[in-house]
Amino acid sequence: MSVKRNNILAFLFFFAGTYACKKEMGNSSFEGFQQPSNFPAPEYHFETNALTQAGFELGRKLFYETQLSHNNTISCGSCHIQTSAFVHPGHSVSHGIYDRLGKRNSPPIMNLAWSTSFMWDGGIFDLDLQPLAPIANHVEMDDTISNLLVKLGKTTDYPTLFQKAFGTPEITGTRFLKALVQFMVMCVSSHSKYDSVMRNEGASFTSTEQAGYVLFQQKCNSCHKEPLFTDHTFRNNGLPPSGLNDEGRYLVTLNSTDRYKFKVPSLHNIFYTEPYMHDGRYFDLEGVLEYYNSGAQNTTNLDTLLKQNGRLGIPLTSVDKTNLIAFLKTLSDRSFLLDKRFSEH
Amino acid sequence: MQRIFISFIAFSFFLISCKKDSSTTYNSSVKADLSVEFDNIAGSQDLQLNTGKYITESGDTIKSITKLKYFVSNFSFTNMDGTVYTVPQDSSYFLVIEGDSSTYEPNFKVPEGEYKSVSFILGVDSVRNTLDVSKRTGVLDVTSPATADMYWTWNSGYIFYKLEGTSPQVPSMGGMGGNNFYYHIGLFGGKTTSTINNIKKVTLDLTARGTPKVKSGKDTNIHLMVDVLKMFSGTNSISIAAHSMVMTDDYSANIAANFVGMFRHDHTEN
- Integer-rounded Cα Rg, in Å, for chain A is 21
Q: Which of A15-19, A117-121, A123-127, A250-254 has the lowest mean pLDDT?
A: A15-19
CATH of domain A3-188: 1.10.760.10
Helices (H), chain A: 2-25, 53-63, 76-79, 132-136, 145-153, 158-166, 173-186, 193-198, 207-219, 250-253, 285-290, 318-329, 334-338
Please list, residue by residue across B120-148, b when 16 or more beta carbons sit within 10 angstroms of its beta carbon and e when fewer do.
bbbbbbeebbbeebeebeebbbbbbeebb
How many whole angstroms separate alpha carbon B38 and alpha carbon B224? 5
Q: What is the mean pLDDT of chain A?
A: 87
CATH of the domain spanning A193-334, picked from 1.10.760.10, 3.30.70.260, 3.30.420.10, 3.40.50.300: 1.10.760.10
Of A270, A256, A315, A296, the residue nearest B196 (C-alpha) = A256
Adjacent-strand bridge partners of B107: B35
For residue A134, what pLDDT band results from cuts at 50, 70 and 90? confident
Are B152 and B252 contacting, i.e. CB atoms less than 8 angstroms apart? no
For chain A, report the end-to-end CA distance as a whole number of angstroms: 40
**What digits encode the pLDDT tens for the residues A74-97?**
899 988 988 787 777 767 666 554
Nearest-neighbour CA in chain A from B128: distance (Å): 13
CB A156 within 8 A of CB B173: no
pLDDT digits 0-9 by tens, B165-185: 999 988 876 555 568 999 999
Contact A116, A245 (CB under 8 A): no
ipTM of the modeled complex: 0.83
Query: Which residues of chain B have a pLDDT value below 70?
Result: 1-23, 173-178
Interchain contact, B155 vs A48, CB within 8 Å: no
Residue B160 CA neighbour count, 13 Å, CB half: 28
Q: List CB contacts of A142: < 8 A, sequence separation 6 or more.
A: A69, A70, A71, A96, A97, A98
Contact A48 B134 (CB under 8 A): yes
Nearest CA-CA distance, residue B57 and chain A, Å: 29
pTM for the whole structure: 0.88
Cα A254-A256-A257 angle, rounded to 5 deg: 115
Same fold, A3-188 and A193-334: yes
Burial of A184 (0-12, 13-18, 19+ CB in 10 A): buried
Query: Between A and B, how many residue pairs show a Cβ–Cβ distance under 8 A?
Result: 82
Residues of A in contact with B153 (CB under 8 A): 124, 129, 132-133, 135-137
Cβ contacts of B148 on chain A, cutoff 8 Å: 136, 144-146
What is the rounded CA–CA span in Å between residue A52 and residue A31? 9
Instruction: Give the residue extent of every domain in chain A.
Output: 3-188, 193-334
Domain spans of chain B, in order of start:
45-105+116-207+226-259
Task: Kindly report the nearest CA distance between residue B195 and chain A, in angstroms.
Answer: 5
pLDDT in tens, B100-144: 999 999 999 999 999 999 999 999 999 999 999 999 999 999 999
Q: Is the pLDDT of residue A333 over 90?
A: yes
Displacement of CA A279 from its chain's centroid (Å): 15
How far is Cα A96 from Cα A303, in angstroms, rounded to an integer?
A: 32
Whether A275 contacts A336, CB under 8 Å: no
**H/E stretch holding B14:** helix B2-21
SS (H, E, C) B192-222: CCCCCECCEEEEEECCCCCCCEECCCCEEEE
**Mutation choice for A interface testing from B132, B136, B141, B147 by most A CBs within 10 A:** B132
CB atoms within 10 A of CB A154: 10
CB contacts, 8 Å: B133 with chain A: 126, 128-129, 173-174, 177-178
Q: Tell me which residue in B143, B153, B196 faces A133 most closely, judged by beta carbons.
A: B153
